[in-house]
Amino acid sequence: MAEQSVIDRVRKALGRTGPLSAAPTPPVILEPCTRLVHSDIGLPELFASRAAANKMHPETVGAGEVAGRVVAFFVAKGVKRIAMPVSAGLEKLGIAAALKKAGLEVKTWDQITLDELYDFDASVTDVSWAIAETGSLVIKSSAQHGRAISLVPVVHVAIVEAKNCIADLLDLMEILGKEGVGNNVSIITGPSKTADIEGVLVTGVHGPGEVQVFVLQ
């Protein structure tokens, strides 16, 4: 009775004499009121800013120069063996060819086993999406792109295309809801870190100790 009394008072305050015959249509809520990141602004720039805060050292480069930048990065790090997925996008950028020309060893996922991957110094991958709000890389594994490629080598270089930048996790969940998650989806927000042992923060224990991101213009 008390509950009904409250409902009656609310109904009276709204100027109604009885219950509605159908539920009212909810008002349209504008995106800026519901999301921290708006999908109509510079997502690649925001992603780069957040990725930098996550210690992923993003650099903006042109498609024609990214292969040379990757080579220079690996040479400076003393990297010798690099693993890559089978990727038409990376092949188009000429990254593997440039690395081999520089005298570095490059193997794709179809040429190595999981056990052999542990002997590689670094990896270069493309990404499925890049989340602007959190500065995270999203990699959807497949038969051509094993999930271990971005998780096992000590150094991970990720190539991000501007078209793959999305606003936030809401967008990602919507996409995955339509496409499915497949075997695995990895969300990478910086180098591997743990503080399990005596509260001391250690980098690179459970994955790459360094993540370098090149954002294509």
What tens digit of pLDDT does each residue of 160-211 get?
A: 999 999 999 989 999 999 999 888 999 999 887 776 667 766 665 667 889 9
Is residue 8 situated within a structural domain? no
Which range of residues forms the domain containing residue 204? 41-216
The structure tokens listed for 156 are 């991970």
For residue 86, give the CATH number of its domain: 3.40.50.10420
d(CA 11, CA 4): 10
Is residue 15 situated within a structural domain? no
Res. 27: pLDDT tops 70: yes
Average pLDDT over residues 88-100: 97
Question: What is the chain's length?
Answer: 217
Residue 154, CB-side half-sphere exposure with 13 Å CA sphere: 10
d(CA 4, CA 106): 73
Res. 34: pLDDT tops 80: no
Is residue 16 situated within a structural domain? no
Query: Three-class SS string for the chain?
Result: CHHHHHHHHHHHHCCCCCCCCCCCCCCCCCHHHHCCCCCCCCHHHHHHHHHHHCCCCCEEECCCCHHHHHHHHHHHHCCCEEEECCCHHHHHHCHHHHHHHCCCEEEEHHHCCHHHHCCCCEEEEECCEEECCCCEEEEECCCCCCHHHHCCCCEEEEEEEHHHEECCHHHHHHHHHHHCCCCCEEEECCCCEECCCCCCCEECCCCCCEEEEEEEC
Q: What is the pLDDT of residue 204?
A: 56
Q: What is the pLDDT of residue 40?
A: 64
| Percent residues over pLDDT 70 in the chain | 91
What tens digit of pLDDT does each residue of 131-158 get?
A: 999 999 999 999 999 999 999 999 999 9
User: In whole numbers, what is the pLDDT of the chain averaged over residues?
Assistant: 90
What tens digit of pLDDT does each residue of 52-77 get?
A: 999 999 999 999 999 999 999 999 99
Q: What is the pLDDT of residue 37?
A: 79
Is residue 22 situated within a structural domain? no
Phi, psi at residue 212, to the nearest 5°? -115, 130
Work out the angle at residue 48's Cα, subtended by the Cα atoms of residues 177 and 41, and round it to the nearest 5 degrees. 65
Alpha carbon 86 to chain centroid distance? Answer: 18
Single-letter amino acid, residue 150? S
Closest C-alpha among 204, 184, 215 to residue 61? 215
- For residues 85 and 144, the answer to whether their CB atoms sit within 8 Å is yes
d(CA 62, CA 187): 25
Is residue 103 situated within a structural domain? yes
Is residue 50 situated within a structural domain? yes
- For residues 104 and 110, the answer to whether their CB atoms sit within 8 Å is no
Res. 16: pLDDT tops 60: yes
Is residue 30 situated within a structural domain? no
18: confidence class by pLDDT, cuts 50, 70, 90:
confident
Structural domain total, the chain? 1
Is residue 31 situated within a structural domain? no
